[in-house]
Structure 1
Amino acid sequence: MGQHLPLVGAGRPGAELTVGQDGATIRRSVLPGGVRVLTEQMPGLRSATVGAWVGVGSRDETDGHHGSTHFLEHLLFKGTSRRTALDIAEAFDAVGGEANAATGKEHTCYYARVLDEDLPMAVDVIGDMVTSARLDADELETERGVILEEIAMTEDDPGEVVHEQIAAAVLGTHPLGRPIGGTPDTIRAVPRDAVVEHYRWHYRPSTLVVAAAGGVDHDRLVAQVGDALVAGGWDLDPDGVPRDRRPGVPESDGVPTEGVELTVHRHVEQANVVVGTTGLSATDDRRFAMTVLNAVLGGGMSSRMFQEIREKRGLAYATYSFSQGHGGLGLFGLYAGCTPARVDEVTALMVAELEQLADGGITDAELERSVGQLSGGLVLGLEDSGSRMSRLGRSELVLGELMTLDESLARIRAVTADDVRELAADLASRPRSVVRVGPFGE
């Protein structure tokens, strides 16, 4: 089965933990300064994916800094003291590699996929970006326009709008309720000084996790990461320790105690509707029961929502349930896209399926089928180095532990029908919000 890895705070700087898993080897080291390096060596793979995870997301922004996290995702590609933006782009293009970044509500990741022989280059370039971003004033103003266009593109997608609005409706003024990319007003308002301050405060050794998977040698990567950070001018204090996972903000802080209803006008052919409520935090012990609940309720073509709303009644093309877990808080929702005239009917059907699950639970056949679906999806989802790299980074920054594949499968298989029914009853009892996006009022 392999060894279970407790991650956050485990070991002194330089300590290593190893675990064998389905032919791969996972190792973890804590460098001076608190930088964490995790690798998963996958035998026979000639490529590798490496990511620099910074433990800062949109929820960490303070007044006057809103939008800074997303701004930095763009600006780190715009040049350092050693490289221009073109140098960064050419470094990866020259070896057929891919580089990108993603901003989340709790972390930001800069990552690249390259041949194993080009991994030192990728580490050096990404390390340079993270430690030595120039944050040029002219480039910032250019990217301000680019980000505003990105937000406008999102606003033109009713599916994106309904999911952003349900988060705001359910979570209220809680930091997790804010859009990741900021709003047009916050992007226009944030000054360069605030972005620079956000960068200097949050981009530091104690918040950095470097994760790599594929054809990677752990000891070499540790040395390469250390060299890159020192070259970037970071002070790797031997007494530095990793920043622990955020403890999580109580759900009551800014979260409405009653559900709300919101209708957003968009001139589109199809309406999008989400029914949402607070869900489970990322570390809640019931998160495995939640995966089974989602599989039964709205996780595939055999799910109750899909069968009732699409297959039996033909009322929607797409319908599903979803769960998002964060530190101290989560979001749970039911989605459908349908003809505007059928929104109320489809909304009632989605709610009815959740309430029936809460009242009557699931059958043994549904439990068996969902466990098989989740087990197969978990294994298939770890077939590439990118997904394994992401699992390492998320485990370190969000979960605080790394389960082996066998352990994860065992936790899924341990879920009972009573676990699912009790969780469904809990979710069904919570304040419920509804957001509709479509040509209403025309």
Structure 2
Amino acid sequence: MHAVATAARTDAPAFVREVGGIAEYRCANGLRLLHLPMPSMPVALAMITCEVGSRHEPAGLKGASHLIEHMMFRGSARFHRGNGGSIHALLQPLGVEVNATTWLDRTHYFDLAPSEHLDLVLEIEADRLQALRIDAGDLEAERGVVLNEHDLYAGDPMEKLHAAVWRTAYGDHPYGHPVLGTRDDVLGLGREALVGYWRRHYRPGNATLALIGDVARERALTLAQRHFGAWRDDGAPGEDDVPPPSPQDGERRVVVRQAAPPEAVMLAWRGPDGRSRDADALALLGPILIGGKGARLYRPLIASGLAVAGGHHAWRLRQPGLFQLQAEPAPPGDHARVERLLRDAVAAIVRDGVGADELDRAKGFLRGQLAIQRDGPVAIAMQLNEAIAAGDWTLYPTLPERIASLTAGDLQRAAARHLVDARLSVGHLVRDASAAEAG
């Protein structure tokens, strides 16, 4: 493991810009600092977003990002259970909430703390980012925990359908691989391989520190420099060398069979990357199609009793994401009819566009969602985290203005570009009694 330097650089973080009340600074070692003061809050949130996720995992290392996330809670050079200073033992009695998640483009760690404990929180975070302790016994224990997660997801029918559709849509591209990795790779991941992966990707130039809540600007700058200024970046500049997905040139299909309900139909179109204006337009198309009683598909799909539930998601990713619609057919499960309704509704938007009332309702729905996503430091951090992962943190503060500016023409053009059969992958989750025998 890297040794932690004893003295931080004296260079203060340099101001870059301020957007939507969030100030961006850059430390001399390349670490980005984002600061959003919320003095009315009695807490402060610290979040580290490392721009590494399952997309960055080559063959043999699938699952490394998630396994490292687990190991980060086992401790570091200075803070670990062996010396009586485990992360949870130190922070939980102080009322600090600690958590982390791994996703396709990023891994993030966050601490919600009474503001007087922020100094200790950042001291611990800095140590485990710079001097992660990967003990052989701890590694085997966490490997077992991760394999249990594999078993849990393998037993979830909708997770199986989701995985099958993404694998079908992306083929060999890493977006088509499970974020948890493969069982074989997780079983085979050795300590040295994991350490090498951590060293390549856990660098200040590949990370963002966000401080949100009851922390004044000068204190934020001082704490960032004190705890992270000595973090060395030994790697090359953070160029993203993962090729984008190969173009899709025709409709793809997959069927997942299982013995028990539910049944489902999932449609996923290859969309734009998360920084595109088309990604904003697709975010509005979801609620127009299947977002409540005023949506186009509510009466023919839900009110008619053909399906018991439906949903949508426009995935904003660093590389081209998916625009997804799904519905659960009511028993006995008319998958073909449900699929045809979904496809016809999308084709009608490509052909005829959307109405002014529909556009206004969708904007109102999204405004409500955005208000919820700005309710406190944790909600803000989660959305900011995904914007960082998509490649531009300003996607978060500028989203309300961008959504407000969208026109019906923008939505129709985005649908015509992306929601076509040549970019579509279809998945059916089908109830089949013989699947129990096969399993």
TM-score over 0.5 (shorter chain): yes
Aligned to 1:417: 408
**Alignment match, 2:231:** 234
Size of the aligned set, in residue pairs, is 419
- 1:320 and 1:404 map into 2 onto residues whose CA distance is 23
- Alignment partner of 1:27 is 2:26: no
Runs ≥4 residues deviating over 6 A:
none
Q: What letter is aligned with 1:65? A: L
- Determine which of 272, 275, 288 is the counterpart of 1:296: 288
Between the aligned partners of 1:16 and 1:67, the Cα distance in structure 2 is: 36
Q: 1:110 to 1:94 in 2, by over 3 A?
A: same
Which amino acid counterpart does residue 229 of structure 1 have in structure 2? Answer: F
2:152 corresponds to: 153
Work out whether residues 45 and 214 of structure 1, in 8 Å CA contact, stay in contact via their aligned partners in 2: yes
Q: Which residue of 1 aligns with 2:359?
A: 367
Structure 1 residue aligned with 2:6: none
% same residue: 27
274-283 vs 335-344, which deviates more?
335-344
CA-to-aligned-CA distance 1:124-149 (integer Å, 9 cap, x gap): 12222222111111111111111111
1:49·1:213 contact (CA, 8 Å) conserved in 2? yes
Which residue number in structure 2 is paired with residue 195 of structure 1?
194
Residue aligning to 1:213: 212
Query: CA distance change for structure 1 residues 352 and 20 in 2, over 3 Å: closer, same or farther?
Result: closer
Partner of 1:272: 264
Report matched runs for 1:19-418 at 5 Å: 19=18, 21=20, 25-85=21-81, 87-229=86-228, 234-235=231-232, 243=238, 246=240, 249-252=243-246, 256-311=248-303, 313-338=304-329, 339=331, 341-402=333-394, 405=397, 407-418=398-409
What is the Cα deviation at residue 247 of structure 1? 7.6
Output one character per residue of 1:92-136: Cα deviation in whole Å (capped at 9) or x when no partner. 211122111000111100111111111112211222222211111
Post-superposition offset of 1:269: 2.0
**In 1, are the aligned partners of 2:17 and 2:25 still within 8 Å (CA)?**
no
Alpha carbons of 1:106 and 1:340: their partners in 2 closer, same or farther (altered >3 Å)? farther
TM-score (norm 1): 0.88
CA contact (8 A) 1:34 1:242 kept: no
What CA deviation, in whole Å up to 9, does each residue of 1:24-83 have, x standing for no partner?
x42221112101111100131111221111111111112222111011010110121112
The SS at the match of 1:71 is helix
Shift of 1:404: 7.5
Alpha-carbon displacement from aligned partner over 1:378-425 (angstroms, at most 9, x marks no partner): 1231011012223444444433251575x4323212211122122222
Q: Secondary structure at the match of 2:41?
A: coil
Question: Within 2, Cα distance between the matches of 1:213 and 1:404?
Answer: 14
Q: Could you tell me how far apart the structure 1 residues matched to 2:333 and 2:19 are?
A: 55
Q: Given that residues 249 and 327 in structure 1 are in contact (C-alpha distance below 8 angstroms), is that contact kept between their aligned partners in structure 2?
A: no
Could you give the per-residue CA deviations for residues 328-373 of structure 1, whole angstroms, max 9, x where no partner exists?
3111221112335322221221112111222222111101111111
Aligned pairs for 1:424-439 (under 5 A) are: 424-426=415-417, 427-439=419-431
Segment of structure 1 superposing worse, 69-78 or 184-193: 184-193
| Structure 1 portions without partners, runs of 5+ | 1-11
2:16·2:26 contact (CA, 8 Å) conserved in 1?
Answer: no
Seen in structure 2, the aligned counterparts of structure 1 residues 72 and 343 have a Cα distance that, compared at 3 Å, is same
Matched-pair contact (CA < 8 Å) for 1:49–1:113: yes
Between 1:389-398 and 1:163-172, the stretch displaced more is 389-398
| 1:208 Cα deviation after fit | 1.4
* Counterparts of 1:404 and 1:342, CA distance in 2: 40
Taking structure 2 as the reference length, the TM-score comes to 0.89
Does the aligned pair in 1 maintain the 2:281–2:414 contact within 8 Å?
yes
- Any idea what SS the aligned residue of 1:329 has? coil
| Secondary structure in 1 matching 2:158 | helix
Letter in 2 for 1:411: R
